Amino acid sequence: MATDSDGRQQSLFQKLKPICVPLLEKSQLTPVNVPTVLRLLSDLENILHHESDLPLSASLASYVFYPISTILRRNVLTQVPDRVLEQVFNVLAILCDSWWWDCELEVWTQLFMLCSSILGGLEGKGKNKTRSDETRQAAAMCLLALTRERDNSKTPSGAAEGLFSTRIASLQSHAQSTKFIPVLGQTIDSLLTTSKSRHRPLQHVSLRLLDVIIRVYAPNGLVASVLPGVISTMSRVALGTQESTGQASGDIVAGALLVMQNAVVISIGDAVCIADGAVRSVVDLEDLVHLNRPPSPTKNTATAPYLITRTPSWLQASASQLHIALNALTPLVYHPTAVALVALANMAKEVLSTTSLTLPQSQPLLLSWLLSLSNSSYPRVAEAAYTSLLHVLTEGPTNVRQALLQTLMHISKECMNSLPISIASQADARIEHIAGHVEAICRLAMSTSDLPKDIGLSSISGTLHYILGPGGGIEKWGWTLLSVLQFKPPPVSINPVSMSQLLLEGNPEAVQGVTFPEVTLKNVLSGSAADSLARMFRALGRASGDHCLYAVEWFVKLGLHSKSDVAVSALWCAVRLLEGVSDIPLTGDGFQNQGVTSHSKHLEKFIRSLTREVAELWTAEPADPSTAPLKVREDNEPLPRTEVVKGVKGIRLTLDIAEPRPPTTPIANDQMLLHRTFCLQLLALGAGILQARFTGLLIHVIYPVLHSIVSPNHHCSLSGMAALAFIANATSYASPGSLLLSHFDYALDGVSRRLNHRWFDVDATKVFAALVRLVGSDIVEKAGDVVEECFDRLDEYHGYEVIVEGLMEVLGEVVKAIETDEPHVPDDVAEDNSQLVRDLQPLHEWIIHRNDTPLDYDDTDYGPAPHEAWGDLKHGEGGQDEPRTADREEDTAEQVLTSAQSLTKQMVSRSIHFLTYGSPVIRARILSLLTSATPVMPESALLPSIHQAWPFILNRLNDQELFVVSAAAELVEALASHVGNFMGRRIWDDIWPRFHAILKKLEAADGQSALARRGYGAVGTESAYTTSHRLYRSIIKTMTAAVDGVYMQDAAGWDVILAFRRFLHCGAHAELQMQARELYTALSKGNEDAVWLALMATSGRLTGDITFLREAQWDINENILLLLDK
């Protein structure tokens, strides 16, 4: 190896010799040879850089250094061009990288001073010349190569053992000598100046140099002397006050903070201050004996005149100034780069670990940094800060750890006490800051289970238990916080489904995707601040565990029994704490990702009682102000004083932040809805905690949840559906419908109890309808109970319109469910073609051959023939009537009905008399019920009821309310489609004259409707959901069914053809056009000539006497072509 190294050294020498010799000859710089010198220096730099992996021997390094030193000696330094000087420093930087191990101290000193003079612009006596940034950067790089630390792995081969320790000790001793300390001071001053340069490479290398010189070479006294300047400059660099963007880059901030960290630790750390007698350390009992004596230095403090002697007064002054400087660095907590944030966390950790005695006032600030950084969105930053917190709280001397723990506990109490002030002042940034601190402290408290008990971190948990426990902590901050926490529903609640959509679409499975809607804080403007408050309460519950159940109970009692606005805020706090205790979030995926969990028996017992208490809110009777007893004033009671106050508003002598409110002020309507919302969240959390054991409480819970679903308030309705979906998932049911079906008796019992005279609830019928809709088609299994309950209540409350309407809605939902579940085969309606004449050819054939003898005529005489069937002759007189009787019984026997059909028949028969009810809504619901029952029931069960109710149905076609007429038309449509033989003549004799009159009235009404289509000859309305559109559709479909099933007389058919022409207009709704084409297709089967004549005349294609049918405002040509194609 030595031979190979010597060979490479010799080869390198041969490469360097052709450069070093000419460079020595050109050492005297002139304008003529400067380019040549630059070229030679560049070649020299390239060769050295290419061979950088080869350590230069001392002789070879001296050989290269000689021409460089000659250039520096033979020329006045101020007259050397910047470019030449830059190249010189580049060569020296590469050279010093290997020469550092055996360079003479005199050469090291001269190079150090040379680089320092270039950096500071001090190149001659009394002459200041500022070099270019590139030149100063090269000088700084050379100085960094000359001073940077090495390790034993870089020791040259063949060197003595311990060379690194010997070399670094020698350089440190020389640098800390009395003669060299001024050079160090001047160099530090120059580097502080260049660290503010806008040239990024120069700024970066200056910070690295400052760190090396302060940490390795400068004596402690010198660092203490330059501490104010270092802290001041590094603060400005870190904050980026001179930057155009307003903040420095991440690596610059990290370099500046590292310099500050080392300067603070070296100059004002506990160890050096104790050694100089500036502060006393109390470790054992003997130190307490001498506590009243002034501290004395433990070593000789005699220093040079320009070095600081640490005294208690100096420490006090420096600590206060340093605290101000550190406080100014607080904005760095929000720096956008992870590098800067990690550096800030490391600085806080080192300063906390080493200055617990000298900087006690800065400990809360530094801990605050670490707490904030532990909540960073950068995982690396959060992990570094959390690790730093654990380091300072679990490692190091006991007195340091205890002091930091006391500070941390004080921070937690101050955060809870100052949070209401920040909320009241709407300081969102401050709210996030405080909530983040509490959350980080809770995270530390939860980590105590993995640490030994003698560490002392259990005191953090003890503090949280005091804050939330019965020791009086909750009363100190709870009332004040509730006075400023005010909620309101959001203006818009976004969710995949709503109750209206459920009623319209009939898809109960959609309820599973509903989540609890968010609420808005009145005094918190940003969503991030509100989220931070919620996370804070969850973290408190998670860290305190069962110990916070006292706080939950305190909030719940206040929320359930208070009549003021704080009730809503109290319930919100209770919900968030319970989320933390159970570790079950109600937002996001919620319980979706939760497995089978176990909780303490104390928590489960508390949840059971809480669930019953919350569910009773839907049972309690509201207080009636009119029945409240009047307060009578006593004789000795003074009259209320009336006082007029002018001028400045007086100061309230109270600790409450919010304005006082009268205790008797009732809760506003929106607050009452929010109160119900948070109660539903408590019920959902109870299900999440108890899981399968919650089914025993469903008898109390189902009705409150369903009652909230039918609330007219969208926010409350969404909360009810979210609670139902959450409870179903927590109790291991596939869907909310499965849960309600399994516990249908509980739900029915809840509705029944709210429909009696003691606890009457008007919304109970709506709850009943929602229950049927949510269960879906499976309700058929329980339909008997539902129908029986409905008719029992109808008999009891038949005179109350609201109740009857609700119960009819329930019956309608049951019939719809039966219609979905019960299979039905539509009746085959045979066309009556006996009177339809399409061709006269058969008549002509018959006239010609009417007298011809049939070809297959048999005129053989077979004798007398029996007048009865052959089979009847074998039986006696008594048995002749038996087959006929059996056939007759078989023909007249009614079809056997299923249970669902029997139930539907019962509902139809008992609901018909409500067709004459005074409320038009109820009349419409009965008609809708009959419409839904028509496809379910067979003719033998349906037609007697329809025949009985037929006069009432006809009267409904003349009803004053258009939606009742529309419902009656839909019923006629269903009857015509399913029992066409029964309805044939009734339609032409009873229905069509009324339909004809209705069409004329609707045509006149559409001309005055704001929803009518605009344009020449426009027909109908724009929307397909208007009552008139539905009525049009029902009339057209009814007449289509009638034309298909019953022979149509020419006069009536001609009226139908003319009445429905306008629906073929291209300006009509697309659905009506399609239905009209189907009608005219059916009409064409009976009398296609009449249809052709009417449509052609309407479009203006025929002339003569038929032109009176021309309607120029209707464009029906496109639909005529479609009809002709068929």
| DSSP code per residue over 65-120 | HHHHHHHHHHS-GGGS-HHHHHHHHHHHHHHHHHHTTT--HHHHHHHHHHHHHHHH
pLDDT of residue 632: 41
Question: pLDDT at residue 262 above 90?
Answer: yes
994 burial level (CB within 10 Å; 0-12, 13-18, 19+) = middle
CA dist 325 and 317 (Å) reads 13
Residues 6 or more apart whose Cβ sits within 8 Å of residue 267 = 220, 223, 224, 227, 308, 318
Q: Looking at the predicted structure, is the pLDDT value of residue 340 above 90?
A: yes
Determine the Cα–Cα distance for residues 1122 and 232; give it in Å rounded to an integer.
Answer: 90
Comparing 9-13, 390-394, 470-474, the range with the smallest average pLDDT is 470-474
- pLDDT of 293: 59
| CA–CA distance, 762 with 403 (Å, rounded to integer) | 64
Question: Who contacts 737 (Cβ-Cβ below 8 Å, separation ≥6)?
Answer: 508, 509, 774, 775, 776, 778
Please report which residue ranges of 220-291 form alpha helices under DSSP H.
220-239, 250-268, 270-276, 285-289
The Cα–Cα gap between 683 and 746 comes to 16
Given pLDDT bands bounded at 50, 70 and 90, which one contains residue 628?
very low
Task: Read off the pLDDT of each residue in 719-741 and give the average, rounded to a whole number.
Answer: 88
Q: How far apart are CA 838 and CA 843, in angstroms?
A: 11
Whether pLDDT at 664 is above 70: no
Query: For residue 174, with 0-12 CB atoms within 10 Å meaning exposed, 13-18 middle and 19 or more buried, which class applies?
Result: middle
Worst-scoring range by mean pLDDT, 518-532, 538-552, 690-704, 843-857? Answer: 843-857
Q: Determine if residue 866 is left, alpha or beta; phi over 0 gives left, psi from -120 to 50 gives alpha, anything else beta.
A: beta
Q: Which of 655-664, 701-710, 765-774, 972-981 has the highest mean pLDDT?
A: 701-710
Q: How far apart are CA 836 and CA 69, in angstroms?
A: 127
**1044 CB neighbour count, 10 Å cutoff:** 21
- Report residue 994 as tokens: 């009324």
Task: Look up residue 957 and give its two tokens.
Answer: 């076609």
At 266, the pLDDT band (50, 70, 90 cuts) reads: very high
* Residue range 734-747: mean pLDDT, rounded: 86
CA-based torsion, 660, 666, 671, 675: positive or negative: positive
pLDDT given for residue 672 in this prediction: 86
Under 8 Å between Cβ of 733 and 739: yes
> How many C-alpha atoms does 260 have within 13 Å on its Cβ side?
30
Distance, in Å, from the CA atom of 134 to the CA atom of 570, rounded to the nearest integer, reads 65
pLDDT tens-place string over residues 1035-1072: 888 888 888 766 667 777 888 888 888 888 888 888 88
Q: How far apart are CA 955 and CA 396, in angstroms?
A: 95
Residue 1030 and residue 931 in contact, taking contact as beta carbons nearer than 8 Å: no
Tokens matching residue 701: 């819970």
**Nearest-angstrom CA–CA distance, 86 and 840:** 119
CA-closest candidate to residue 1082, choices 1022, 1019, 1039: 1039
The region of weakest confidence among 110-124, 358-372, 418-432, 884-898 is: 884-898
Measured CA angle at 184 (ends 179, 190), to 5 deg: 140
- 513 versus 402: the higher-pLDDT residue is 402
Rounded average pLDDT over 529-557 = 90
Token digits of residue 1052: 């009536």
pLDDT recorded at residue 611: 92
Q: 398 or 365: whose pLDDT is higher?
A: 365
Is the pLDDT at 1083 greater than 70? The verdict is yes
How far is it, in rounded angstroms, from Cα 729 to Cα 444?
33
Is the sign of the CA dihedral 756, 741, 603, 446 positive or negative?
negative
Over the Cα atoms of the chain, what is R_g?
A: 49
Cβ partners under 8 Å of residue 426, min gap 6: 523, 524, 525
Q: How many CB atoms lie under 10 A from the CB of residue 257?
A: 25
CA distances from 709 to 511, 705, 849 (A): 11, 6, 79
Question: Reduced to 3 states, what is the DSSP secondary structure of residue 1031?
Answer: helix
pLDDT higher than threshold 70 for residue 763: yes
- Is the pLDDT at 302 greater than 50? The verdict is no
Q: Residue range 92-115: average pLDDT?
A: 86
User: Are 936 and 822 spatial neighbours (Cβ–Cβ below 8 Å)?
Assistant: yes
Whole-number Å distance between alpha carbons of 698 and 684: 11
Give the global pTM. Answer: 0.76
DSSP characters for 526-564?
SHHHHHHHHHHHHHHHHHHGGGGHHHHHHHHHHHHH--S
pLDDT band at 495 (very low <50, low <70, confident <90, very high): low
- Once rounded to an integer, what is the mean pLDDT over residues 376-404? 86
| Cβ atoms of 1002 and 1032 closer than 8 Å | yes
The pLDDT of residue 343 is 95
Helices (H), 355-472: 363-373, 379-394, 398-424, 428-446, 458-468
Identify the weakest region by mean pLDDT among 192-201, 229-238, 647-656, 785-794. 647-656
* Percent with pLDDT over 90 in the chain: 18
Cα pseudo-dihedral 654, 656, 659, 661, rounded to 10: -90
The structure tokens 């032409």 sit at 988
The SS3 of residue 395 is: coil
> Are the C-beta atoms of 962 and 1027 separated by less than 8 Å?
yes
pLDDT digits (tens, 9 = 90+) for 813-848: 777 777 776 655 454 444 444 445 556 677 777 778
Contact 751, 768 (CB under 8 A): yes
The Cα–Cα gap between 766 and 360 comes to 66
Are the beta carbons of 727 and 684 closer than 8 angstroms?
yes
Q: Are 1064 and 1076 in contact (CB under 8 A)?
A: yes
Strand, helix or coil for residue 462: helix
DSSP states of 847-913: HHTTTSPPTT----------SS-GGGGGS-TTTSSHHHHHHHHHHHPPPPPPHHHHHHHHHHHHHGG
Tell me the pLDDT band of 154, cut-offs 50, 70 and 90: low
Q: Tokens 């966390």 — which residue? A: 345
pLDDT for 1064 equals 86
DSSP conformation class of 56 = P
Tens of pLDDT, residues 342-369: 999 999 999 999 888 899 999 999 999 9
1078, HSE (Cβ side, Cα atoms, 13 Å): 16
The secondary structure of residue 198, as a DSSP letter, is S
pLDDT on residue 503: 47
Collapsed DSSP state (helix, strand, coil) of residue 949: helix
Confidence of residue 69 (pLDDT cuts 50, 70, 90): confident
8 A C-beta contact, residue 158 and residue 2: yes
pLDDT, residue 105, reads 87
Pairing between β-strand 122-124 and β-strand 520-521 as defined by DSSP bridges: unpaired
8 A C-beta contact, residue 1024 and residue 1071:
yes
Choose the weakest-confidence range: 219-228, 291-300, 411-420, 971-980: 291-300
In degrees, rounded to 5, the angle at the alpha carbon of residue 538 between the alpha carbons of residues 533 and 542 is: 150
Provide the terminal-to-terminal Cα distance of the chain, rounded to the nearest Å.
Answer: 103
**3-class state of residue 829 by DSSP:** coil
In sequence order, the 6+-apart residues with CB closer than 8 A to the CB of 933 are 815, 819, 904, 907, 908, 942
Q: How many residues does the chain have?
A: 1126
Ranking 289-303, 357-371, 415-429 by mean pLDDT, the lowest is 289-303
| Percent above pLDDT 70 for the chain | 80
Q: State the maximum Cα–Cα separation within the chain, in Å, rounded to a whole number.
A: 164
Q: Does position 666 have pLDDT exceeding 60, yes or no?
A: no
Contact 464, 543 (CB under 8 A): yes
